[in-house]
Structure 1
Amino acid sequence: MSTPWRLPDVADVGFDAPFRWLAGGWADLWRTPGPCLAYGFGVSALLAAAAWGLYASSLAFWAVIAALGLVLVAPILAMGPYEAGRRIEAGEPVRLGRIVLVRTALRPDVFLLGVALFLIFSIWLQAAQIVYGLSTYQLHDTLPEFLAFALGTGEGRRMLVAGGLAGGVIAFAAYTLVVVSAPMLLDPRYDVFMASVTSVRTVLRNPGPMMLWAFVVAALVLGSVATGFVAMIVVLPWLGLASRRAFRALVVPHEAAAATGPAGEGAEVRP
């Protein structure tokens, strides 16, 4: 399939768009609950095992930071639900094997996006280590010890504020890069450069709605982490399907724009 010679159009959306994406993703989830929930269970089990491994190694701080950093890498983990959403839209059957091993995701451009997210995640870890190191001279081996320091002392609360500000900036940079580029890369016509630039353009063109979508995604992911990753079984495929709908509403291929005009759902296409 040939590569488009210029970037796709970007649509304007309103503040109600994130809620429509969530509602559509929820409906999609229950059209094919078996494969989607099985996918969510598998990813959740792996994440829980990794977090428990860090905690069992007396690395409570790193377990907490890595769990919070899941917000950064969640888009790459949702390739299966993106493919499920594409299949639902195309009227194709959704099978677990097809969404666990997504053939169109096995290409260098998806790998490069994953590397970019890993580098941002590494910066996140280094920033957290610096803030933690400047806040205390002690290492907190257990989660109760760490929470007692973070919530019960002035140094801990200042650490949370400084870490929240630094982490928020890093997380939003990652979100801007990947919010539509991850599902977009399942279309082999687009490379990682086109997808990443288009992702940034969608945020710049729709700052309010995309900030709201970022808050919704972060709240659901972090809320799932707080349940010991149990809620992630449902939340990961739900957000993946909703993100596929967000991509379809925000990114308009030129042939679609020429054939249909505005992008639908009340959106206005802007080049």
Structure 2
Amino acid sequence: MEPTTTHLPAVNTVGLTAPFGWLAGGWADFRKALWPCLVYGAILVALSLSLAMALYFAGALRWLFALAAAFMLVAPMFAMGLYKTGRMLEQGERPRVGDILLVRSAFRQDLMYLGLALFLVYSFWVEASQIIYGLSTYRVHKTLSELLTFMFTQPDGQNMAMVGKAVGGVIAFLAFSLVVVSAPMLLNEKTNVFIATITSVRKIAQNFLPMLVWAMLIVALTALGITTGFLGLIVTFPVIGLASWRAYRELVPSSRGDMEQAV
């Protein structure tokens, strides 16, 4: 067993336009590994649609917003195969579907700890949203159409939506800060979850505005994928995952040497 890395790696400072370069690189990588990425995205969409249909038949479609929020929080955890795709492309290899569906680093205790942290953040968001909803109305909106009508046509609903967006945005950015670098960093088996998450937070602190832009781009592309009935995620999710790998490589300069030793 190789020793675990215990030192904090250096973090680069990037410019405000860096996220657009990561996105362009992610698109280029997506085209290089088109079919494996499409299959990966299709599997994710199939799972998302299955959950949405389960909510529909259970008469709980109003929880679709919660499902979308949960996806935003945990998506980096589902992108491990895409991070591996980016690494393989860097090494001049041609990834296959089997190579990226089963990633050994995705079945380790450190990633479970990271998932637990995200679950706690999501649970806090659910509780906060229920409190905001309870303070905004005395009615229970049983269907999604009733909830949307309340949110967009009534002053109390509009205020609820604004407050919910503000609170949810802060919580989502907290989750983003914890996971955006730590998830791809955990492909390196010599790195533990504590070093990875601290590095992720340090990266946000050192590059706040560029990372805010990156977070907004991720939200916009993910929302675009969701609003197309999840089908757009077949493309947008792999592109975001590959771009996130490029972001990690640029932000953590020691990652290349560590990865070469870990392979």
Normalized against structure 2, the TM-score is what? 0.94
Q: Distance in 2 between matches of 1:134 and 1:251?
A: 43
Shift of 1:223: 1.8
In structure 2, the residue matched to 1:165 is 166
Structure 1: 5+ residue runs without aligned partners?
258-271
Match of 1:35 in 2: 36
How well do the aligned residues superpose, as a CA RMSD in angstroms?
Answer: 1.5
Q: Which residue matches 1:224?
A: 225
Residue identity over aligned pairs, in percent, reads: 48
Change (3 A) 1:69 1:105: closer
SS at match of 2:32: coil
Indicate the SS of the match to 2:166: helix
Shift of 1:186: 0.5
1:1-271 equivalences in 2 (<5 Å): 1-253=2-254, 256=257
| Alpha carbons of structure 1 residues 254 and 54: separation in structure 2 relative to 1, 3 Å | closer
Structure 1 residues 81, 251: CA separation in 2 closer, same or farther (over 3 Å shift)?
same
State the Cα distance separating 1:65 from its structure 2 match.
2.1
Deviation at 1:250, TM superposition (A): 0.2
Shift of 1:254: 8.0
Deviates more, 1:179-188 or 1:69-78: 69-78
Alpha-carbon shift at residue 97 of structure 1 (Å)? 1.4
Distance 2:141 2:171 in 1: 25
Secondary structure of the equivalent of 2:12?
A: strand
Quick one: structure 1 residues 181 and 255, their matched pair in 2 at CA, closer, same or farther if it must change by over 3 Å? Answer: closer
Q: Offset of 1:44 from its aligned partner?
A: 1.0
Return the offset for 1:225.
1.2
Does the residue aligned with 1:137 lie in a helix, a strand or coil?
A: coil
Deviations 1:105-142 (A, max 9, x none): 21101111111111111111111111112212222222
Distance 2:89 2:24 in 1: 15
Report the Cα offset of residue 255 of structure 1. Answer: 8.4
Partner of 1:12, secondary structure, is coil
Contact 1:55–1:142 (8 Å) recurs in 2: no
2:176 match: secondary structure: helix
- Matched pairs, number: 257
Question: Relative to structure 2, which stretch is displaced further, 84-93 or 7-16?
Answer: 84-93
Question: d(CA) in 1 for partners of 2:189 and 2:50?
Answer: 33
Distance 2:133 2:168 in 1: 12
Letter in 1 for 2:225: S
- Mapped contact 2:6–2:195 kept (Cα < 8 A): no
Deviation readout 1:53-93 (Å, 9 max, x if unpaired): 11332223312222133211111111111111111111223
